[in-house]
Amino acid sequence: MEALADAGQAVSIYDDEDNLRYANATYRGMFLKGYEGPFTFTDILRYGAANGLGVRIDDGDVEALIARTLPRRRSSRRKSFETDLLDGRWFWIEHTVLPNGWVMTVGTDVSALKHSEKSLRQAHEAALLASRTDLLTGLPNRRYILELLDEALSAGRLSGAGLCAAIIDIDRFKQVNDTYGHEAGDAVLRHFAQVFREKLRPGDYLGRIGGEEFLLLVSDARLNDAARLLDGIRSGFAPAMLPDQATRRPVAFSAGLTEALPHDDRSTILYRADRAVYAAKAEGRNCTRIGLEAGTLAPPSADPQARDR
């Protein structure tokens, strides 16, 4: 026992009635600080929960934890698992049921490994996010928004939920770059992305697919719903503040909107949306045109003034 007493591992031995018969200094520090008994497995858990010691209980219900744990405590001769403590440490537990029904546990501190694992996971998540994000606007980039389109088309075929897609082009963007410079153009793009992001519903996505062109995905919606969403965003679009902090530039956009059909794939739905946005540009910009099946276009917007603003 002397070797166990000095070990950095946490060692405990419980008899067949779950009374604690031995605990080394590490185990006592984890579970028994100031505890005067009774020294049963369940009472030690209750003491820890009441005094901020021992294992972390996610739902805070120690009685539910006891009810889950006791039937499994001697269900197998050997098992291993990890557990985290309220003090932030993680331990890997080797749990052994001895031939006489007593239980010995040996816990090894693996906090450093868990923290390294967490750091690696966070680095992976950050790299994944960066690979999916347009650096200028913070929106999904072309590759990711097209992946989201593919996923939405597949999900829509299974569920029957509506999906609308719109290609959106900022009007007269080249004039901004030519007149004020590319920094001003970047400011307009960031402003455009921010305004859209604030007005979209949960589950809708806007991604930048190139230059001043964006792809909007409106989930669980029909054409009228998506058209109203676009009209509402357009009517309340605040001017962009340019880098000189003195110039405000109005922002208008043309949109080609279409609804997913049962046979659609990425190419067909984008083809209709692309033709519709070209039609919106040809009609004077600052409006939405709707692309229908077989490349046909819906009649122009009933609000001609919207195209002239």
- Convert the pLDDT of each residue in 90-118 to its tens digit: 999 999 999 999 999 999 999 988 888 88
User: Residue 256, SS3?
Assistant: strand
Q: Which fold has domain 2-114?
A: Beta-Lactamase (3.30.450)
- How many whole angstroms separate alpha carbon 195 and alpha carbon 287? 17
Indicate which residues carry an active-site annotation: 212
What pLDDT is stored for residue 204 in this prediction? 95
In which band, very low, low, confident or very high, does the pLDDT at 60 lie, cut at 50, 70 and 90? confident
pTM (2 d.p.): 0.62
- How many whole angstroms separate alpha carbon 183 and alpha carbon 177? 8
- How many whole angstroms separate alpha carbon 175 and alpha carbon 29? 70
For the chain, what percent of residues have pLDDT higher than 90?
75
pLDDT reading at 40 higher than 50: yes
Helices in 142-265 by DSSP H: which ranges? Answer: 142-159, 173-180, 182-199, 223-235
- The string of pLDDT tens digits covering residues 75-92 is 999 999 999 999 999 999
- The string of pLDDT tens digits covering residues 15-34 is 999 999 999 999 999 999 98
Pairing of strands 240-241, 78-84: unpaired
CA-angle at 297, arms to 296 and 301, nearest 5°: 170
Residues of the chain with CATH 3.30.70.270: 133-308
What pLDDT is stored for residue 294 in this prediction? 56
What pLDDT is stored for residue 308 in this prediction? 32
Which residue type sits at 67? A
For the chain, what percent of residues have pLDDT higher than 70?
92
- The string of pLDDT tens digits covering residues 200-212 is 999 999 999 999 9
- How many whole angstroms separate alpha carbon 308 and alpha carbon 301? 12
pLDDT reading at 125 higher than 90: no
User: Residue 37, SS3?
Assistant: coil
Q: Which fold has domain 133-308?
A: Alpha-Beta Plaits (3.30.70)
Pairing of strands 205-210, 90-97: unpaired
187-226: burial string, b at 16+ Cβ within 10 Å, e else: bbbebbbebbeeebeeebbbbbbeebbbbbbbbebebeeb
Report the phi/psi class of residue 166: left, alpha or beta, with left for phi > 0 and alpha for psi in -120 to 50: beta
Residues of the chain with CATH 3.30.450.20: 2-114
